[in-house]
Chains A and B, each alone.
Chain A
Amino acid sequence: MTDLETRVLTETPTTGPSPQEAGEVQHSTGDRVRSVIKHLLLIVASVVMIYPLLWLLVSSFRPTDVIFRTPGLWLKDLTSINYTQGWGALQDPFGHYLLNSAIVVVGAVLGNLLSCSLAAYAFARLKFRLKTLWFSIMLVTIMLPIHVVVVPQYILFNKLGWINTFIPLILPKFLATDAFFVFLMVQFIRGIPRELDEAARIDGCGHWHIFSRVMLPLMGPAIATTAIFTFIWTWSDFFISLIYLTTPNTYTVPLALRSFLDSTEGSNWGAMFAMSIISLVPIFLAFLFGQRFLVKGIATTGGK
């Protein structure tokens, strides 16, 4: 439709001072119409996309009975009672679950950064036997559904007495099992000029020095992307926590949130919404400050 309009407009015979100039002017009016329509579309889409989130935020400050009568966003009769209620509604104060999640997230981020960068350096820069084979295995494991390993893993960790500890959630990260990030870092290192490590090598640096003194400082964006994605994914992870954490005092935030459905019979929506907002704040902040890296990181792996 807009395309047709533009064409009709530009093809209309002109009577202006010079054909070229007039053509440009008319072209730009067609463009303006197109631009207005486009912005309208995007604004409508933005509102639809963001409305549930804003509504969740506002509703978390409303009494439960008001939540169920108010689809709008007006800010009157707001109360913080949901937050105080929700904080104490479960067996432990909600801060306890936040702390549990924080421990797991810190462990996971450290583990991923360390193990994935080591593996990535090897794949991107070193020559060793069967490298192509290992690299393809690594790529395949990115696509492997976790379910195929989760049953024996559970049996193994159960035998080791690690159920209801955070070890099953953190240890695999120190063993570079999130191959996606290995791949992301390999792609990044490949973009760093080889001259830099050659120079270090000529200066007599060993691989550990090249890795830690030359590569790591240059890998800032890849490290940031890995850290932020690991943070967001681990913070939201539900499946693995659900399997390994069964006693309420080991619950991470997602498990605690879900247990609202059982403990309050799913009726205290206000409290549930309030704690939901609290659980989303760290992701939102990570998104806000890390968006640059998320966009770039996702583009490096996706682009080529």
Chain B
Amino acid sequence: MSAISELSHIKVDKAKTPEERRARAKEAGRDNKAGYLFLLPWMVGLVVITIGPMIASLYLSFTDYSLIQAPEWIGLENYARMISDERLHNALRVTFTYVFVSVPLQLILALAVAMLLDKGMRGLALYRSIFYLPSMLGGSVAIALLWRQLFGSDGMVNQVLQLVGINSTTGWIADPKYALGTLILLHIWTFGSPMVIFLAGLRQIPGMYYEAASIDGASRWQKFVKITLPLLSPIVFFNLVLQIIGAFQSFTQAFVVSNGTGGPSDSTMQYTLYLYQKGFGQFQMGYAAAMAWLLVIIVGVLTAINFFASKYWVFYDD
């Protein structure tokens, strides 16, 4: 191996004669062509599936369009309508509540459990599988249906409560006060995937840091605050960004638990569900496109804030 690597070094370093330079230029040209050839499927996708539709939806957001007649230019009317659309404001409230309650709780739980799972402890693989499995299943309709039963008025949760002496007839999913809570709980239940990322990160922290701290008499809490958190902060950041973006787009659970209505009383009307109703229920494509752009802006701004704020709390070793 090392002989090969030496050879390649020689080849790179000693391209001094004109022929060699020409040969390298030719190779670079070939690289350039090959690069674009390998990227071709991705670029077609980028234009046809992503950027093209993005521009089209920006255009549509200034039109009135119901698929039947040609789009009719109405300027900023869709956006003006959004300002006075009470149900949209409610959908934003619901979504922000959902995201900013469930994401931090989920991440804290994920980190706490990851820290309990020491390297080499007994049963590690089993614990990890049990905690990880729900995050693989959590996005499915099957689990959302299960949630409908669990938190129904005669569902399993109320039966369990009865066993411990609490007589609850609350239909959790039918009560506007609690319905969103059941969705938040479902999101927290899927803490396994950030947990796995935290686990990988924790394994990368050299054990000698903790040993050195122990010798200096640091307490467990001090070690956590002074060693674990700073060294893990890039991963906390990564999880935070991805989970926020993901949670904003959550749709299936709210759709199934409310059977597509966003009810009761719009209490589970997440933004994407409302967008779906507008676009694909009532075929107000222009309005849906405007809503989609608002979503992009919200997610973009939050991600930008996250990146900006990260300068103050994320610690990069290198």
Contact = CB atoms under 8 A, between A and B. Distances in A.
Given A127-B28, A176-B42, A144 B141 contact: no
Nearest to B40: A118
Contacts of B34: 122, 126, 128, 206-207
A81 interface: no
A3 B224 CA distance: 12
B230 to A, nearest CB: 16
Contacts of A286: 136
A232 B133 contact: no
B196 A295 contact: yes
Interface stretch (A18-26, A217-225, A277-285): A277-285
A147 to B, nearest CB: 4
A104 interface: no
Interface in A187-243: 193-195, 198-199, 202, 206-207, 211, 232-233, 235-236, 238-239, 242-243
A148 B60 CA distance: 11
A69 B160 CA distance: 10
Nearest to B38: A122
B142 A287 contact: no
A145 interface: yes
A159 B97 CA distance: 38
A177 B60 contact: no
B107 interface: no
A119 B296 contact: no
A155 B57 CA distance: 10
B50 A151 contact: no
Contacts of A260: 145
Nearest to A3: B220
Interface in B36-88: 36, 38-46, 48-50, 52-54, 56-57, 60, 67
Interface residues of B, number: 103
Nearest to A238: B252
A118 B142 CA distance: 35
Contacts of A55: 156
A170 interface: no
Given A138-B42, A143-B299, A238-B252, A280 B140 contact: yes
A138 B42 CA distance: 9
A216 to B, nearest CB: 13
Contacts of A202: 4, 7-8, 11
B291 to A, nearest CB: 8
Contact of A302 (B239, B252, B255, B295): B239
B204 A303 contact: yes
Given A147-B295, A153-B53, A258 B256 contact: yes
B315 interface: no
A147 B50 CA distance: 11
Contacts of A56: 142, 146
**Residue of B42, B44, B245, B251 contacting most chain A CB atoms (<10 Å):** B42
A17 interface: no
B50 A121 contact: no
A238 B238 contact: no
Contacts of A152: 52-54, 56-57, 60, 289
A22 B127 CA distance: 33
**Residue of B45, B134, B197 contacting most chain A CB atoms (<10 Å):** B45
A7 B219 contact: yes
A143 B4 CA distance: 40
Given A149-B49, A280-B137, 20 more contacts: A41-B116, A50-B130, A50-B134, A55-B156, A115-B42, A119-B41, A119-B42, A126-B35, A128-B32, A134-B39, A149-B57, A207-B30, A232-B136, A236-B139, A236-B140, A238-B140, A238-B252, A239-B252, A291-B132, A302-B200
9 closest residue pairs by CB, A with B: A175-B45, A128-B35, A299-B200, A276-B142, A152-B56, A122-B38, A152-B53, A302-B197, A176-B42
Interface of B: 1, 4-5, 7-8, 11, 28, 30-36, 38-46, 48-50, 52-54, 56-57, 60, 67, 113, 116-117, 121-123, 127-134, 136-137, 139-143, 145-146, 148-150, 154-156, 159-160, 163, 189, 193, 196-197, 199-201, 204, 219-221, 235, 238-239, 241, 245, 248-249, 251-252, 255-256, 259, 272, 275-276, 279-280, 285, 288-289, 291-293, 295-296, 299, 303
17 contacts: A42-B113, A49-B189, A50-B134, A53-B133, A115-B42, A118-B41, A127-B28, A127-B31, A144-B50, A152-B54, A176-B45, A195-B5, A198-B8, A232-B136, A254-B141, A273-B145, A294-B136
